Structure 1
């Protein structure tokens, strides 16, 4: 038995779905099923009742669940305890968080000149693991994380901007209603690679009683903005903080008229770490920069660019 198997077991027990647990853990469904089966073999009992329609905990799985949560919480505490105390905060994030982070870092350093703050770029999974292991103090993500030993600090929300070709039928407006976009194909990366964006868009369409018309998934070697420019009736969404990264022509950016396309921005820390020296100031500064960035108006079409970004 190892921590990884317990982590996968917990994910399945909370999602009650091997496919959803695999998406949450960023591994394949076959891999998570294999690891859970190995755990069951080692324990000599079944942890789940499986059928084609439902996954349920067995009595043994129900008894194991709180123990697994406790073990993983102790794992995080053990890593944290082994780290030498330092007057340093390490932030881990994707590059898309750099503008907000650097502004917040500058503000905190002015108030705490003896505090060393590092900014480390990692992918989503590695960010969470780094905080859990004590290699980073706070991970910036879009969305939330539910894992023993970690807590989520709300930093604000970020708008998803609607991007179309400037030849699109709705491109003449600065704002657009979701119902106006329903007849047109929405271009996004595959759902398994962008669960958050797909969920936000789907929920927003449910709210207006419509359904998004998904076009072909965007290939990994393609950019969303290029695909909508070459397909004048299609549309996509971009994080507001990324729209000025790559100058493009022929693109139109709009906000959703009722502000339904919004994603939460969060800081993930170890439980209790929000009280560490300087952390409160950093979280406060990040809340200011995230809010300011989200409220900024869309860049003019000739300055806009980017693609749906990982979290």
Structure 2
């Protein structure tokens, strides 16, 4: 079924005959008759009663006409609106890697956007974001850069800017005696599973990044969890500990009761993380991207 059949069906109903519809559209009556027969066959509905030189719209045909007419009108209005927006509005496609860097992006976009700008948001893995930016499918993205050696951008169609920096900290249950300390001792890191939150099931980036920062003698059992409420419950009940990006997890987590957040002992430098904005330096929206980058300062 295609729009041409539907448009012709409406024309036949409005003109009252195949002949008049054919004349108004500059086609043969036979072509119109065949088109309507194919439409009925595709729908499995009888739209017309046919006599020698007359047609009558069936009750089902009348109902179908009202439906199709409204659909075509809405389609026309929506296409007109899209054409208007494409010529009058700038469009910005932004991506983010984790809910934590996504929270920072949201805060900056909130004060940056205006009514004249279209905005699309995508949530992807780092590899997909880098590929999409290089290929012009995404304009910019925020990513969490952590670990050793961290995220190194070398492709000629990619550039990066550091827009935020803080440290990773460990969440410990109030039931755990370690919560009474000022720092989380690395000697205790293997006693409970270490959780990290990412919605994507197949993302190991944060796990590998965290493990790369630990001294060789530290043996941590690091596990991914895709449900943030479950992670908070396991930590608060002292069934696990978890690492969080300080300064950003507060935007994402509303339930933080019974958990104490501690810096990692002796890891002041190695536990630092950055949020990077990745973009294409050859983009035709570079001036707009740089304006958004300036809002991070």
TM-score by length of 1: 0.51
1:266 paired residue among 256, 271, 276: 276
Over 3 Å counting, the alpha-carbon distance change for 1:170 and 1:188 in structure 2 is: same
Contact 1:131 1:137 in 2 (8 A): yes
In structure 2, C-alpha distance between the alignment counterparts of 1:231 and 1:213, rounded to whole Å: 16
Task: Specify the alignment match of 1:139 in structure 2.
Answer: 141
Over 3 Å counting, the alpha-carbon distance change for 1:231 and 1:218 in structure 2 is: farther
Contact 2:171 2:259 in 1 (8 A): yes
Q: Secondary structure at the match of 1:152?
A: strand
Contact 1:163 1:251 in 2 (8 A): yes
Over 3 Å counting, the alpha-carbon distance change for 1:277 and 1:213 in structure 2 is: closer
Superposition map of 1:19-98 within 5 A: 87-94=90-97, 95-98=99-102
Give 5+ residue unaligned stretches, structure 1.
1-82, 289-311
Matching of residue 250 in structure 1 with residue 254 in structure 2: no
Give the number of equivalent residue pairs: 197
1:204 paired residue among 181, 196, 213: 213
Matching of residue 130 in structure 1 with residue 137 in structure 2: no
In the TM superposition, what is the alpha-carbon distance from 1:283 to its structure 2 partner? 1.0
1:226 paired residue among 233, 248, 251: 233
Over 3 Å counting, the alpha-carbon distance change for 1:200 and 1:135 in structure 2 is: closer
Deviations 1:61-98 (A, max 9, x none): xxxxxxxxxxxxxxxxxxxxxx9997443222254334
Matching of residue 179 in structure 1 with residue 186 in structure 2: yes
Contact 2:164 2:276 in 1 (8 A): yes
In the TM superposition, what is the alpha-carbon distance from 1:138 to its structure 2 partner? 0.3
Over 3 Å counting, the alpha-carbon distance change for 1:266 and 1:219 in structure 2 is: closer
Deviations 1:258-277 (A, max 9, x none): 43322221111113349822
Contact 2:101 2:144 in 1 (8 A): no
In structure 1, C-alpha distance between the alignment counterparts of 2:88 and 2:287, rounded to whole Å: 11
1:213 paired residue among 188, 212, 220: 220
Over 3 Å counting, the alpha-carbon distance change for 1:114 and 1:224 in structure 2 is: closer
Contact 1:155 1:267 in 2 (8 A): yes
Deviations 1:200-253 (A, max 9, x none): 3323322xx6313316x3455673322233345x42102331245231432221
Q: CA RMSD in A?
A: 3.6
Over 3 Å counting, the alpha-carbon distance change for 1:149 and 1:132 in structure 2 is: same
Task: Specify the alignment match of 1:238 in structure 2.
Answer: 244
Superposition map of 1:141-160 within 5 A: 141-143=143-145, 144=151, 145-147=153-155, 149-160=157-168
Contact 1:187 1:224 in 2 (8 A): no
In structure 1, C-alpha distance between the alignment counterparts of 2:144 and 2:242, rounded to whole Å: 18
Q: Secondary structure at the match of 1:171?
A: helix
Give 5+ residue unaligned stretches, structure 2.
1-85, 146-150
Structure of greater Rg: 2
In structure 1, C-alpha distance between the alignment counterparts of 2:90 and 2:155, rounded to whole Å: 26
Matching of residue 118 in structure 1 with residue 119 in structure 2: yes
In the TM superposition, what is the alpha-carbon distance from 1:164 to its structure 2 partner? 1.3
In the TM superposition, what is the alpha-carbon distance from 1:176 to its structure 2 partner? 1.2
